[in-house]
Structure 1
């Protein structure tokens, strides 16, 4: 037998009461100084009408208390006047919980239908505080799934919506996520502008947060190859970090060292890297120490100081077995070791470490790095004259090579090389290719 459930519509007074109860507020708190607690009681018991003027006063009082409690909850007068809007807020909470659970359970493959459903809901109901939270959570999911374009889109939407939320606490945290995406995707000018805007517009920035924004400006400047300005900005960033804040100081010294290296100031670069070693935890920061030693090795390779290269390579090799296999840096460490071994012409060892880097890149879905490492493996086989291994590698990646998309300039180069080879002008083709390779590497 089917039982029909009755649907009871909630009144405006009942809606006001449930909002107050949900937010753990007393009648006198939402009444404030402009209306009486008795009026609140009459409205909640459906003995008086809630008009726009009173709804505005109550909403203002509620939001003031939420702000004092450091809660990013924003109630509009319409939420008090229209029970359906508050029902929609409850539905928004179910979306928020679902997205939080997806993040906690590492379920990042959000379905398009689900995404469209959420977008349609947010477009139908202008629930500012819920919109900010949902967009930020979607940004987090796409960050975890390495979908950079959608990550950018939702962090941008979250930040944009946050400006409709007066006195929002810690808005800068969303901005930092967007800045990081911009730097990774090459939108460096946008990242710098956003950092500068947050520095002058956000009153709730802590001293440490200001330092982080300056660091991100410096990072963007480094990406733009403006190394002198990057170093000046890093000097500003240092002022905002306590001497005991080793984590952020190590990031600053690392970027500082890279800039000095790119400027050819190897002595100052070595000093920056030495500071990292000094303040690093020798037991728990082994991956960072290895990265620092590798950067030191690069300097000695530039100086063609093989003795020092070998000395620091040995330091890396001593620590490598104890680096956490989940380290963010591990793949790149193996790759850089292979480059050092190639410099030392230890070809077999170079191949071993390069293959490990390839396996790790593939495992961690770092396709850009994977293709880069394949290119280095080809270079190794060419330099070492491993003809059979090169042929075998080319067969293995034949499909990938055939799917390479060429631009007009690359196509023109290939046509010229093809012409020289058909004309049996092998030396001309070889010189032409060598010139192109040197230009690409900046030699």
Structure 2
């Protein structure tokens, strides 16, 4: 199995044990997620890998990529897990820093990233408990090395980092920096809440609950929405008015959505909004605009 990928190893052992994907996934992950992992379309988190290894009767190290023996990635991860289990976070981050300098390729591993962040988080918490706020601040700030990745993958975890930094900077009487991190944590919470609100509206769109969408829109405060959530909000609300036959209102929100969306990265959504605008203008009898937006929708599809 040495030359197999992580996903192939998991699938091979599962089949050998005559387990179905549903049996292996259990209640811990979805069967769809397990399928993605086995097909190397998704990388399991450390907790997921620990669960799968236990279910398959193997150690986590057994599944690690050992194509580069000189890096000994599996040994490093096993050692780091042992250090975290023993709550020796100082030794854990020391080992991580050594590897990131001498073997930077190991940091491409999702498990190493998880261990890196968790080790510094626990170390920061430990220092705060001991009252060593300077060291706590330094530990938390180490996590921000991967701030952009966390924004995309784990905004709730990043919120915890910001909140801890705001608190520790307050203890250090660095008021301006405390305010900065407090604002970042507050902005992130608003983004998370906005995303959930819009997602609820989107689900109602799928269920054709257009009145529910319009009612929800009157209860939310879009001032704190990030651009992505604001674009989705306007698009969903515009679609609701379109389906209710209130075409002029639909146009207002759909055109707002178009202004926010990036044509380069959201071309499919933009094409759909153009089609909806075309329907609105057609129903209002403005056939020239209806044709223009239909052409825009078609050109967007052809271009991509």
Q: TM-score range by the shorter chain?
A: 0.3 to 0.5
- Report the TM-score, using the length of structure 1 for normalisation: 0.29
- Report the TM-score, using the length of structure 2 for normalisation: 0.38
Quick check: which has more Rg, 1 or 2? 1
